[in-house]
Structure 1
Amino acid sequence: MTMTDQLTRSPSALRVVLATPLYRGATLALFFSGLGFSAAAPQIARFIVDELGGSLTVAGLYYLTNLTALAGGYFVGRRSDHTGRRLGPFRFCAMAGFLGWLGIAFSTQLWMPFAISALVLAFAGAATSQLFAAIHDELQTNPSPAGDGIVSYVRMSLTLGWVVGPVAGTFLGAQLGLRAMLVATAICTLAQLLPLGTLRDHTPRAQATTAHNTDAPSPKTHVSLKAMGPLLAFTGLYILVYAGEPIKYAYLPIYMNDQHYPPALSGAIIGIQPLVELILMPAAAVVARRTGMLNLMVLGALFGVGANAIFALSASPSGLLIAQILMGGVWGVFAGLGIIVAQRLLPQAVATASAIFISAPAVSSALGGVVGGIGVGAAGLPLVFLAPSALALTAAFGLLVLQTRLGARI
């Protein structure tokens, strides 16, 4: 059978997503998740300053509360792998997100958003990891040659939410106030529950055969730190790549304003990245079948090296636009394939793997904040972007080493 015949007979990933209740529901749920979180993220610092009287320095410290998401995600993921249940923990985490954002919306004291974020919203992000674990289980039960494409399409909906959310959040904040915007974020977080309705977990094939095969893996399999080594290494390298994002979003708008770019031009430069990312995500899944996922991620990290170098060395709008297109290439690869790689690096505990990987941006935000603050003080704008370029180069080298050690595994 030729390659053309195989592609012709292979089911369309998009068709499978639309036809399968879990995939279809997860796609809509992740859109609501991305929409809500991204609407609040750019506005929460202004809420702390304008509504609660905090200083800019105190508002910046709020983002450090995201670090608890790593512990919360790990706890939920480990519990999920222990029981084999995904959608129950997903619903718990979505409800935690709803209550957390609602609590922040009605906060009257400066300490309240910090406490709520650290203690309640720490579990909200794990809702996403539970959905990807459920999708993995479904693919184990009903394997599909379009599996990677299915995950990529579902992941695209989360990115689409992050495209729409900041615009919607800005509009709601301006028209109805920041508290109303945060209430809307809470509603979007709760809306994750609707597309999945009363859908129940599918028992993975490995679990279903346990009664007939004593060697089959059990949901209660203990995962050692050594077994998690490749996953932790991959996640650490992903953190290095992602650290450029908080630096870019903190300082690129300031730089463009200092250069007196028209608002429409600045918006076009910022907005081109997620559009390129959405276009490239399904293509990355196809290309990775030929090149290998980690090999493609090495290229993606090198795109990040080039993009940040252009930010640092180019003062022209066309240069910044090219850099943003390259950044779209970075996230077209990492956003589309990262969760798949994480799960394959720890197949006996996919919920734990998903939670650790998806919690990584919180650590990246803290790292990016520290590196960006030190870098802008030492080198100023736009040379601060040489720092994330160096981090991405380190990540590219590390991914190449990881790929060499894992061989054909990924």
Structure 2
Amino acid sequence: MNTSSKNSIKKIISSGITEEEILQLFVENSEDILILTDSEMVLEYVSQSLESMLEIEVSDFIGKKINSVMENFPSLPLMKPNQKMVIPLITSITKQKYLIEFQFKPIYTAAGTIQAIFAIGKDVTDRELSLKKFKDTAFKEKELNQLKSRFVSMASHEFRTPLATILSSTMLIEILLQKDFGPEIKERIQNHLKKIIAQTNRLTNITSDVLLLEKSIQIDTKILRKKIQISSFLKEVVDVINHENLERRRVNYSGPEADKIIQSDPSLLTHIFRNLILNALKYSENALEPEVHLVFRGNYFEVTVKDYGMGIPKEDQEHIFGSFYRAKNVGNIKGTGLGLNIVKELTKKLNGEIWFASKAGMGSTFYVSFPVK
């Protein structure tokens, strides 16, 4: 306390007001929360400010352990000089949540042991919520920058090969067209045209994935729910893939005899199932045929996509749903690393869950679960 403050207090005391009355005046009008406990954290004093905040009578506090009255209060904080701790407190009636920053001041005996603990609390709810919002924004910005960096890296790598193939095939066709059209020339032209079509489709698919990723992370994406017979719907998805694959490798489907009508977005479901099934085919060359199973579990239906391929290495599994992330053992198998990230985002939008089990060299099993309605 400075000299000016001391002189002011002396003038007030000389006018007939005692130090106890001055102290009481400060305590009663302070917006801070004042708490005094014994060495065992049993409450001996609580200011009126806490009573009005928590909607509890002061008499309900006294004589009780502080953490029995304030649920989130630590039973015995680690006492350090002027230690501060932000503690959430919830009102008893309206269930409003406050974030209070307490500063602990232990009071010691002459022997050096703690005799009592004095705590001063300030309402820092607005400050902490603003800080959390800032941290969330900073994290999202950092995540977005990483996403952009990964996209640039992926795009420069994935676009280079098809573009080079398209360019070289176009130049060769131009040269071949200057010659007579014999059967051999026609076959070579057809071969290069197939390469151009394949690589153009690949670029189109990459662009579609990027656009779908952008759509999937939008909060206001519209979900167009329709009635779907889910077993018939899933079987049709499998049949189309088998037809596209020209029956070279089949995907085996099994489901319950009795179908159920669900309400969901058929477009989003198709993308989810196609991606998982095509992945099962892509990453299990020369292995047993992939399997798709449908089961009903109460108010949910669960789809399992199982393959017997290369599996996902343990060190990659925690990142497998990340954007532009690909497992280290995929070798030269083409892909953007966007598929599973998009599947996860779309699954969340349909109020579903996705998880998997995998072991390197033994295959992977992906599970997706959705509510029936």
TM-score normalized by structure 1? Answer: 0.20
Rg larger in 1 or in 2?
A: 2
For CA contacts below 8 A with separation 6 or more, give which structure has more relative contact order: 1
